[in-house]
Structure 1
Amino acid sequence: MNKSTHTKEYNLLLQLLYSLRLNAGFTQLELAKRMNVPQSYISKIENGERRIDIIELRSICHALNCDMVDFVKELQNRINESK
């Protein structure tokens, strides 16, 4: 059985988080500093080694100056397009 972090939908979430960070012009270290977490925390999220919950997603969106509702809408669009 596949782990839930390895679903197509979760991979789309990770891709969107990664592209959001890059488009915001942040390195993993810069994002980590804004969130007051170690850089390895961001790395593990982006590599799928650490699954995030809704509160962590909210923190990431806030640190990247992204509205979480807009983020979720974009994620849903990408999931729909991938089907």
Structure 2
Amino acid sequence: MKKLRSSIYSQEQVFLRELFIEKRKALGLSQRALSDKLGVIYSLIGKVETGDRRLDVIEFIQYCIALELDPKSVLDQVYQHMLSVSSDTADDSESKNSP
């Protein structure tokens, strides 16, 4: 597994944002409709979706619930994605180092 990174543009963060955007659209919700559901200003949704703003753990759970997602399932998907990215990176490193 990789070291802790603070980048909001990491592959894992991008994966999570894409998952949220895809689900919001599948539910037929606009950013404004989602913000109404969460009780926040609608620009927050745009900032989350573009990566300008991260969610803390409580906000993450509320966001998942608003999108009719199970937070544990979402965390598992992100974790599985991290493992696959980590595995792909290790495979690439090994192939570059082999004669």
TM-score, structure 1 normalization: 0.85
Within 2, Cα distance between the matches of 1:76 and 1:14? 14
Are the counterparts in 2 of residues 16 and 75 from structure 1 also a CA contact under 8 Å? no
Among candidates 55, 60, 65, match of residue 58 of structure 2: 55
SS in 1 for 2:8: helix
Tell me the CA shift for residue 64 of structure 1: 1.3
Among candidates 11, 18, 42, match of residue 39 of structure 1: 42
Could you tell me which runs of 5 or more consecutive residues in structure 2 were left unpaired when the two chains were aligned: 89-99
Change (3 A) 1:62 1:4: same
Within 2, Cα distance between the matches of 1:20 and 1:54? 19
- What is the percent sequence identity of the aligned residues? 28
Computed over aligned residues only, the root mean square deviation of the Cα atoms, in angstroms, reads 1.7
Within 2, Cα distance between the matches of 1:44 and 1:26? 16
* 1:78 alignment partner in structure 2: 81
Within 2, Cα distance between the matches of 1:50 and 1:42? 9
